[in-house]
Amino acid sequence: MTLASQAPVHLNGQSNEVIISTSPATGRKLGEVRVTPLSEAPVVMQRARDAQRAWFEAGLAFRLEVMRNWQESLRRNFDRLVGMVVAEQGRPPFEALTEFLACIDLLAYYRSVARRALAPTYHFVPLDPHHRHWTVRQPYGVVLVITPWNFPLMLTITPIAAALVTGNAVILKPSEYSTQVGELLARTIRESGIPEGVFQIVHGKGDLGAALIEQNPDKISFTGSTATGRKIAMAAAERLIPVTLELGAKDAALVLEDADLDRAAHGIVWGAMFNAGQACLSIERAYVMRAVAEPLMQKMKAVIEKYITVGAGESPQVTMGTLTTQAQLEIVDRQVREAVSRGARLICGGKVLEGHSGRAYAPTILTDVTPEMRLMREETFGPVLAVVPIDRPEEGVQAINALSYGLTCSVWTRNRARGIALMEQIEVGHASLNDHIITSSVPQAPWGGVKYSGYGRSRGVEGLHDMTYAKVYSAERFAPLPRELFWYPYTPFKYTLLRRFINVYYATTWRERLAALFGR
Ligand code: NAD
């Protein structure tokens, strides 16, 4: 039996199954991978466990050397990787390049900060000066990384880099829709000289991910839909496995009257249409002050008409690719149709375009939407932007916060202070002024959302720490004392001494401190 990414079928765990990857826009076969039988999950886990300790004990310098090799291997394979993202996802090369850039930048950043970020910290305790206490970042052990298809480089390299640098072994299960990019990435990691078993890739659908969780990995890094994230969180909770969840969103832009409308039109169209809207941080809703809503919509329509050509990513003139999966196209089409049937007004787009295996969707702007429409409540994950005129900025803030998602937002205004004040009121992990998406590629910035958009952070130093737990050590500085202050016996003398210490040391003014020392 075969599993084509065009039309996936249920896996039954037979080892002769394959996943055939095809271009979403042309149907061209790109390659195939063997499906990992569910029965192999324990073997994969054991291999990772066996390899992890030596990887950690080899030390940070060795691991950073491997990461340097990986960076080189990625760079050397730039054309192949970008070419495969274009072919397998259906995206224009420029967009694949920007994803690649963010990945290699993160790897270089981790190499430069890892020593400092993972260095032990030392603690001095006044009542215990003869002890030295220190905290180190300890790897969890085996990290299971489960990824989606929409940014197959970034969402894979980000958790893997953090997990490997910190000394974990990694099992990667990429999406069944991005197996060929996954395989190429795996090859670049193997080329880096990573020891056998420290990194493994497996292929399959959700049931394989679930089977691997049953093998009790020490940490799970999941990126994908909120619905799957919830299932994973429940499975992880039963086993008390720590988990980082990067989930879905319904992100918004808030446009004030004094915004630079030309810039806003370009920025919001890009934020909504990049990767054909198949981005967790896409702008799917724009709350726009009524006085500028109509002119902004016309400007955005003009930007789309001038700059967006939809089609197969491989074609040089194409600036927006096809949708990667048929299921996603159907969700987008259904949401737009339902909104229009309930009174939404199309400014442009709103239909599946001819050709390209039926996977091309016209860049769409619509308005006169209501909060009850699916389009305004659920993630669309396509090139669709809903514009809602508002009378006060606070109305926009309220509507943005009313949904349970909270990944990114942007505020568009020439008044910096007011814009930042509004950003402070919006419940998200990332907020930008007069721009969108930008912070997702700042390597120092921790990435992640709130509410239904998930928890935990990747990227930045927090992303490294997220793959570790704090382990605290304590040892005497010199020879051990015969007994410690807090051990038996509990004497009145020790009680009085400690009472005096509390009063003196924790007094908040010098006057109080002196009074405690010499008086009461
Ligand atoms: P998905 O949830 O359908 O699948 C993601 C991965 O989970 C796949 O590898 C899949 O095989 C696996 N999976 C499915 N069921 C599973 C189970 N029960 N146990 C273990 N693994 C299971 O998501 P998708 O359609 O591939 O990706 C799109 C979604 O990802 C969107 O909702 C998008 O917003 C989200 N996303 C979030 C971020 C972020 O950083 N917050 C980034 C990119 C994508």
148 Cβ closer than 6 Å to some ligand 1 atom: yes
In whole angstroms, give the CA distance from residue 46 to residue 41.
9
Q: Which residues of the chain have pLDDT under 70?
A: 1-15, 520
Q: What residues contact residue 245 under an 8 Å CB cut-off, 6+ apart?
A: 222, 223, 229, 232, 233, 454, 455, 456
Task: Determine the distance from the C-alpha atom of residue 118 to the mean position of all C-alpha atoms in its chain, rounded to a whole number.
Answer: 21
Examine the residue annotation and report whether 214 is marked as an active-site residue of this protein.
no
**198-231 pLDDT, tens digit each:** 999 999 999 999 999 999 999 999 999 999 999 9
284 Cβ closer than 6 Å to some ligand 1 atom: no
246 Cβ closer than 6 Å to some ligand 1 atom: yes
Q: Are 369 and 250 in contact (CB under 8 A)?
A: no
Q: Are 425 and 397 in contact (CB under 8 A)?
A: yes
Q: Which of 433, 476, 434, 427 shows the shortest CA–CA distance to 453?
A: 427
247 Cβ closer than 6 Å to some ligand 1 atom: yes
Q: Which of 40, 74, 310 shows the shortest CA–CA distance to 181?
A: 74
- pLDDT number for residue 8: 41
User: Which of 280, 380, 451 best tests ligand 1's pocket when mutated (most atoms within 8 Å of CB)?
Assistant: 280
Q: Are 159 and 492 in contact (CB under 8 A)?
A: no
In whole angstroms, give the CA distance from residue 344 to residue 382.
17
Distance (Å) from CA 325 to ligand 1 centroid: 13
Q: Are 254 and 287 in contact (CB under 8 A)?
A: yes
Distance (Å) from CA 247 to ligand 1 centroid: 7
- The ranges assigned to domains in the chain are 40-123+131-247+459-470, 251-441, 481-517
User: Which of 3, 106, 150, 244 best tests ligand 1's pocket when mutated (most atoms within 8 Å of CB)?
Assistant: 150
- pLDDT number for residue 437: 82
Which of 32, 40, 99, 246 is an active site residue?
A: 246
Structure tokens at 153: 């480089």
- pLDDT number for residue 7: 38
Q: What residues contact residue 337 under an 8 Å CB cut-off, 6+ apart?
A: none
249 Cβ closer than 6 Å to some ligand 1 atom: yes
Return the SS3 of 126: coil
Ligand 1 atom closest to 176 (CA) = 11
Examine the residue annotation and report whether 330 is marked as an active-site residue of this protein.
no
Distance (Å) from CA 169 to ligand 1 centroid: 21
In whole angstroms, give the CA distance from residue 208 to residue 50.
21
Distance (Å) from CA 226 to ligand 1 centroid: 8
Where do runs of H (alpha helix) occur along 58-195?
Answer: 60-76, 78-89, 93-117, 154-165, 179-191
In degrees rounded to 5, what are phi and psi of residue 205?
Answer: -95, -160
8 Cβ closer than 6 Å to some ligand 1 atom: no
427 Cβ closer than 6 Å to some ligand 1 atom: no
* Fold entry, domain 40-123+131-247+459-470: Aldehyde Dehydrogenase; Chain A, domain 1 (3.40.605)
173 Cβ closer than 6 Å to some ligand 1 atom: yes
Run of H or E including 501: helix 492-505
Q: Closest residue (by CA) to atom 9 of ligand 1?
A: 175
In whole angstroms, give the CA distance from residue 110 to residue 161.
8
Q: Closest residue (by CA) to atom 14 of ligand 1?
A: 206
Q: Closest residue (by CA) to atom 37 of ligand 1?
A: 247
Q: For the domain bounded by 251-441, which CATH number is listed?
A: 3.40.309.10
In whole angstroms, give the CA distance from residue 36 to residue 144.
15
Q: Closest residue (by CA) to atom 16 of ligand 1?
A: 206
